[in-house]
Amino acid sequence: MRYRVFIDDTDISNTQAAVLDCFISSQTCFENAEIVKASQKTGFYNWSNVDHRVAKRLNFILESLSYVPDTYSVFFPAHTIPSEPFEFDEFDEAISTKSFLSTVKLDLFMVNNGHPDIQYFNVFCDQNKDYSQISDYSNFVVDKNARWISKSGICSAYVQTQRPWYRAGRPFQDQWLNWVTKAANEGFLKEGDMQQDLKKQDVRPSMRLHFGRIFHGLPPQSDINYIADRYYVFPENRLLPEQYKLLHSGFLQKRLEKYYGSKSNIKKIVRHLLKKFIWTAIKKLLSRNKFFIMSCLSHIKGKILDR
């Protein structure tokens, strides 16, 4: 049996890239496996109406889903939080994963590349080059037990707010920090890589405190003050320089004035939206705390009557 390992290491911090490299090198089951990294791949399909990063990720998923008899492939997304020991699992279904909706939403998964469903999917892709048709494809037999995930303890921080390099106190923070420490101790992560991540804000600011402890031979600390992370914005959610420039451009200001009228009208609209937002927030607060407010009013009424 042949095994392949796909690592989606594009658009991630140096720290997370080092963690994934450290994980791959430490597992004996990967010694004879073919290692495929997204950062080293070129010549992908390009769809004119799709962001190149989204297109590249789908292309990488498609490569892991290629039809190859007597082969199993495992796909590690960029936000994988490793655990060990990891072992390949052999199953009769086409795909093994905890959750499956469509091809483009595949996350942490394993593929039985010789399955008839995989063969049919490859024929389908050759006949249909449309992004939507390929990305929404879901006609696979899926093993949702995915014992290999439960057995190893490996997990995927698919939701951005659950990623310990973006938010402190996440469920798998200690597990991830242990791998950061291991990557630093084994030479996969250099101090310069960490400094670059902090400078580019690819990790939360409070990671500076963890990095300092790690490179002084101290274990990561879980009770660090995280006030520094209050205004941190995830890289995926930031405005691009051209978007920021457009937002503050005179051209956009003129278009707004043309659409809404004078500057005074724009101020009125903003004021109205602000009042609407505040009133909506107050109504939600009242509805959630109705019992508490009624109790307070009843108490006040009783005090008045006592007088």
Domain co-membership, 38 together with 133: yes
Domain co-membership, 71 together with 120: yes
Domain co-membership, 151 together with 21: yes
Domain co-membership, 32 together with 168: no
Domain boundary among 131, 156, 181: 156
Domain co-membership, 77 together with 187: no
Domain co-membership, 274 together with 222: no
Q: What is the pLDDT of residue 64?
A: 95
| 64 touches 72 (CB < 8 A) | no
Q: What is the pLDDT of residue 19?
A: 96
Domain boundary among 237, 254, 276: 237
Averaged over successive runs of 10 residues, the pLDDT of the chain (307 residues) comes to 93 95 92 91 76 87 95 96 90 94 95 96 89 93 93 92 90 92 94 94 91 84 72 86 76 71 66 76 66 61 54
Q: Which long-range contacts (CB under 8 A, 24 or more apart) does 180-187 make?
A: 180/15, 180/18, 180/19, 180/210, 180/214, 180/220, 181/214, 181/219, 181/220, 182/22, 182/26, 183/15, 183/18, 183/19, 183/21, 183/22, 184/18, 184/214, 184/215, 186/22, 186/25
Note the pTM of the prediction, 2 decimals: 0.79
Q: What is the pLDDT of residue 184?
A: 94
What would the two tokens of residue 55 be? 């297109």
Domain co-membership, 80 together with 214: no
Range of the domain at 270: 244-306
Q: What is the pLDDT of residue 290?
A: 60
How many domains does the chain divide into? 3
Domain co-membership, 59 together with 187: no
Domain co-membership, 52 together with 92: yes
Q: What is the pLDDT of residue 68?
A: 95
Domain boundary among 189, 216, 237: 237
Domain co-membership, 208 together with 267: no
Domain co-membership, 28 together with 65: yes
Q: What is the pLDDT of residue 49?
A: 82
Domain co-membership, 108 together with 193: no
